[in-house]
Chains A and B, each alone.
Chain A
Amino acid sequence: MEHSGSRRRERKTPPRGSPGVVGPPCPRPQALQAEPPHGHLVGVIRGLTQSLLGVVVILPASAFSLSLDRPARVLLRRSRPLPPRQDPAMPAPQCASCHEARAALRRPRSGQALCATCFCTAFEAEVLHTVVAGRLLPPGAVVAVGASGGKDSTVLAHVLRELAPRLGISLHLVAVDEGIGGYRDAALAAVRRQAARWELPLTVVAYAELFGGWTMDAVARSTAGSGRSRSCCTFCGVLRRRALEEGARRVAATHVVTGHNADDMAETVLMNFLRGDAGRLARGGGLGSPGEGGALPRCRPLQLASQKEVVLYAHFRRLDYFSEECVYAPEAFRGHARELLKLLEAARPSAVLDLVHSAERLALAPAARPPPPGACSRCGALASRALCQACALLDGLNRGRPRLAIGKGRRGLDEEGPPGGRGSHSRPDPRLRSPSPASRDSSSPLGSDDVGVRGRL
Chain B
Amino acid sequence: MCEVGEDYREPAPAGPPPPRPSREQKCVKCKEGLPVVVIRAGDAFCRDCFKAFYVHKFRAVLGKNRLVFPGEKVGCGTASRRRPVPAASRTPGLGGGAGHVGGAVPPVVFLLPQVLLAWSGGPSSSSMLWQVLEGLSRDSAKRLRFVPGVVYADEGAACGQSPEDRAKTLAEAKLVLQTVGFPWHIVALEEVFSLPPSVLRCSAREPVGTEGAYKAAVDSFLQQRHALGEQSQPCPQHPQSQVGPPPANQTEALSRLFNSVKTLTAKEELLQTLRTHLILHVARTHGYSKVMTGDSCTRLAIKLMTSLALGRGAFLAWDTGFSDERHGDVVVVRPMREHTLKEVAFYNRLFAVPSVFTPAVDTKAPEKASIHRLMEAFILRLQAQFPSTVSTVYRTSEKLVKAPRDGCAAGTPGPRCLLCMCVLDVDTADSATAFGAQTFSQLPQTQPPVAQAEAPTVSSCCSGMGGARRCCRPEEEEEEEEEEDPRAHVTEQLCYGCRVNMKDLPSLDPLPPYILAEAQLRSPRAKAEQQIQEYLLEDHEDAARPGES
Contact = CB atoms under 8 A, between A and B. Distances in A.
B9 A122 contact: no
A408 B402 CA distance: 29
A86 interface: no
B392 interface: yes
Given A74-B476, A74-B479, A406 B8 contact: yes
B432 A440 contact: no
Interface string A404-434: 1011111000000000000000000000000
Contact of B451 (A125, A269, A356, A357): A125
A356 B400 contact: no
B5 A287 contact: no
Contact of B456 (A128, A227, A353, A364): A128
A351 B378 contact: no
Contacts of A359: 313
A188 interface: no
Interface in B253-267: 262-263, 265
A389 interface: no
B352 interface: no
Contacts of A34: none
Contact of B434 (A124, A354, A365): A354
B401 A360 contact: no
Contacts of B476: 71, 74
26 contacts: A74-B476, A96-B444, A124-B452, A126-B441, A129-B459, A227-B12, A228-B12, A262-B434, A270-B308, A274-B392, A275-B2, A304-B432, A340-B375, A340-B378, A347-B371, A353-B311, A355-B313, A358-B313, A360-B433, A360-B434, A363-B400, A363-B401, A363-B405, A364-B400, A365-B399, A365-B401
Contacts of A194: none
Nearest to A118: B448
Question: Could you say which of B405, B433, B449 has the most chain A C-beta atoms within 10 Å of its C-beta?
Answer: B433
Contacts of A443: 2
Nearest to A368: B399
B441 A343 contact: no
Interface in A96-155: 96-98, 107, 109-110, 112, 117-118, 121-122, 124-126, 128-130, 132-134
B1 interface: yes
B6 A134 contact: no
A198 interface: no
A220 to B, nearest CB: 15
Interface string B469-487: 0000100100110011000
A215 interface: no
Interface in B8-31: 8-9, 11-12
Nearest to A339: B378
Interface stretch (A52-60, A174-182, A276-284, A315-323): A276-284
Contact of B389 (A122, A274, A332): A274
A74 B480 contact: yes
B269 to A, nearest CB: 11
Given A97-B446, A273-B393, A407 B5 contact: yes
A7 to B, nearest CB: 21
B425 interface: yes
Tell me if A's interface is mostly helix, strand, loop or mixed. helix
A121 B389 contact: no
The 10 closest A-B pairs by CB, nearest first: A358-B313, A354-B311, A134-B432, A361-B314, A276-B392, A133-B432, A304-B437, A357-B434, A356-B434, A443-B2
A193 interface: no
Nearest to A358: B313
Contacts of B313: 269, 355, 357-362
Nearest to A112: B444
B352 to A, nearest CB: 36
Given A70-B484, A358-B314, A97 B445 contact: yes
B4 A351 contact: no
Contacts of A199: none
A64 interface: no
B304 interface: yes
Interface in B301-317: 304-305, 307-314, 316-317
Contacts of A279: 4
A343 B374 contact: yes
B311 A357 contact: yes
A97 B459 CA distance: 17
B456 A408 contact: no
A326 interface: no
Nearest to A77: B479
B440 interface: yes
Interface string B338-378: 00000000000000000000000000000011110011001
Contacts of A129: 431-432, 440, 455-456, 459
Given A109-B441, A368-B399, A275 B392 contact: yes
Interface string A213-236: 000000000000011101100000
Contacts of B395: 276
A453 B145 CA distance: 48
A403 interface: yes
A128 B455 contact: yes
B405 A441 contact: no
A344 interface: yes
Contacts of A363: 314, 317, 400-405
B496 interface: yes
B447 interface: yes
A367 B399 contact: yes
Contacts of A70: 480, 483-484
A354 B401 contact: no
Interface string B420-443: 000001000011111111101110
A353 B311 CA distance: 8
B85 interface: no
Contacts of B404: 363
B436 A407 contact: no
B3 interface: yes
B203 interface: no
B241 interface: no
A351 to B, nearest CB: 6
Nearest to A402: B8
Contacts of A42: none
A125 B448 CA distance: 10
A107 B441 contact: yes
